[in-house]
Homo-oligomer: A and B are copies of this chain.
Amino acid sequence: MNTTNVSGHVNGLSDIVQNDLEMSSLHKVSVRPPESMMHSIKDSVKETFFPDDPFKQFKNQPRKRKLLLGVRYIFPILEWAPRYSFKFFRSDLIADSSFVPPLVYAILGSSRDIAIGGVAITSLILASALEKEVSHTQNPELYLHLALSATFLAGIFQAIMGIFRLGFIIDFLSHATLIGFMAGAAVVVSLQQLKGFLGLKEFTKKTDIVSVMRSVWKQTDKWKWETIVIGIAFLCFLLITRHISKKKPKLFWISAAAPLTTIIIGTLLVLSTHLEKHGVQIIGNLKSGLNPVTVNDLVLNGKHLKAIIKIGLIISIITITEGVAIGRTFALIKKYHIDGNKEMIAMGMMNMIGPCFSCYMTTGIFSRTAVNFNAGCKTAVSNIVMSIAVMLTLLFLTSLFHYTPLVALSSIITSAMLGLIDIQGAHHLWKVDKVDFLVAMAAFVGVVFGNIEIGLAVAVTISVLRVILHVSRPHTAVLGNIPNTTIYRNTEQYPDAKRVPGILILRIDGPIYFSNSSYLRERIMRWIDDEEERKDNGNTSQYVILDMAPVTTIDTSGIKMLEELKRTVEIKGLQLVLSNPGSDLMEKLQKARLIEILGENWIFLTISEAVKVCCSLLNSRKLNGEMNIDNDDQGGG
């Protein structure tokens, strides 16, 4: 019965239109020429995994050049090395001079004496996972070997993820997440420095603010006023020098040189006054010598294999997220981009080679990166300078740091951390986008009160939920005609836009999916009901035009919904009209044979053409005096 109804309409349409309007002025909606399935799969794989088209540069190049480009792609050092100048080197060297203390920290970190944020968190995960497998007090050698093996496997997993182009996963760390994450991590790392500031010998291994504050308040009797005074003095010095450099960019070297100055002054102070005898902790003796080769100690078989594969998988994912989060954070500040896939491969290689030389899980270390950044390092040479510095330090210079007070290091790190809390950025988020502000706050609170993983997980979950919710509850708008034009726009955004009598024009703002198709049906029916209420004195709408321009895609649930909508609208005596469906939508409608149900003549290229036809039909009906409205009781089916 409904079909008869439609064809009746359509016959009427062509009769009248052929007389009143030039039918030739109407444009047909095209369907994109069909693609083979293989082709469309290839296309979507390309857009998903290779959006940056990494092989483009290889096209139409001689084989030799191709090889060179390929090697450069894998080793970015070859890209920037030839362009590296002395000016850059100066910046890197200054940056690295202040890199020495965190380096010493990093070495000490493995002896679990002093903990720095990033390292501490990764260590804690690895340790808590390994402890279930083997006790580190009962079998320290096996424990160490398993830690190295898990690191090695984690490296393999990271490299595999990079090779399989799963780097797009890191896109899910949004700008807002990073602002919150950065501030949270800065607070956590600063809190750890309380150990140095207060001169405490024992400290909690947890990183959340509650545990740290409890640990600090329990030991009020052990606070050392000497370290507190020195620490605050150093911190003020560092903050003031940074403030000067910020105000006058020409004096950047003041803030760059401040950390090294702090170290030297601190060491001299201890040497001259022997404060170490008054309870000020110093770095003390360091074991010198290079890392022993441990490649033969890797345990990649036997009964522990399953456990270390699991541990390796977990820590590879966690450290890659952390490492990339840190990398992206600083890239955001300095406005360059990080290729997630390359990053994963690099980290993977690092963790595959590291365990062969007694190094366990490494990732971007937040505090180190921050100090580096604050000192203004320019390229990856800083890492090379650093490595050489570490080697030299390990071999010859360890004794020089013997009298460096720990509080000097704490003040350098805290000062770097305080510079990372982006209050302005958070205010910008609040002003522009409340949900993004919520995401940032969630990341911050999660990191400070829980740990880095909780913070990141909560922030990413909120971000993703927001996307899903946006798709599940798409916006719909009533459109009106902007006077003296053929333009139709949202009547809320453009109050001048006038509704067309007898025609309800709705725009659906987004793809139609299973998760929103029920909602859209309800919402469209509500618009129709509202319209009927608005003009309850007989002058009801007779046409519902759906502007499909923003409907980028549809699934089978959405198609079902359109089919039902057509039926429901028809029972109400209205005609459903589509305007400007995109290529994907038209393709699906055609495949589902819905075009026949909707009526090909009721699909228009533009709203203005749809309105033109509907208006002329309305007028001709009025003239003929035939109010051909279908009755409510017609279509019960």
Contacts and interface: CB of A to CB of B under 8 A. Distances in A.
A192 interface: no
Contacts of A278: none
A432 B526 contact: no
**A-side binding surface: helix, strand, loop or mixed?**
helix
Interface in A461-514: 463-464, 466-475, 482, 485-487, 489-490, 492-495, 509-511, 513-514
A436 interface: yes
Contact of A493 (B337, B431, B582): B582
A185 interface: no
A514 B176 contact: yes
B176 A27 contact: no
Interface stretch (A72-80, A108-116, A406-414, A584-592): A584-592
B51 A553 contact: no
Contacts of A172: 514-515
8 smallest CB-CB distances across A and B, nearest first, come from A174-B514, A493-B583, A550-B550, A175-B557, A509-B552, A432-B591, A436-B556, A432-B592
B464 A48 contact: no
A434 interface: yes
B467 A468 contact: yes
A495 to B, nearest CB: 8
A432 B515 contact: no
A464 B468 contact: yes
A518 interface: yes
Given A175-B555, A429-B556, A509-B550, 12 more contacts: A27-B485, A48-B469, A53-B522, A176-B514, A432-B559, A433-B555, A433-B588, A436-B555, A467-B468, A468-B468, A487-B605, A549-B550
A214 interface: no
Contacts of A557: 174-176, 436
13 contacts: A27-B485, A47-B519, A48-B469, A171-B472, A171-B518, A175-B514, A428-B592, A464-B515, A475-B552, A475-B584, A482-B605, A487-B605, A490-B582
Given A335-B564, A433-B555, A514 B470 contact: no
Contacts of A526: 53
Interface in A317-349: 332, 335, 337
Interface of A: 27, 30-32, 37, 44, 47-48, 51-53, 168, 171-177, 332, 335, 337, 428-429, 431-436, 463-464, 466-475, 482, 485-487, 489-490, 492-495, 509-511, 513-519, 522-523, 526, 549-550, 552-553, 555-557, 559-560, 564, 582-584, 586, 588, 591-592, 605-606
A101 to B, nearest CB: 32
A556 B432 contact: yes
Nearest to A40: B434
A511 B551 CA distance: 11
A467 B433 CA distance: 22
A434 B37 contact: yes
B560 A30 contact: no
A451 B486 CA distance: 56
B519 A51 contact: yes
Nearest to A581: B493
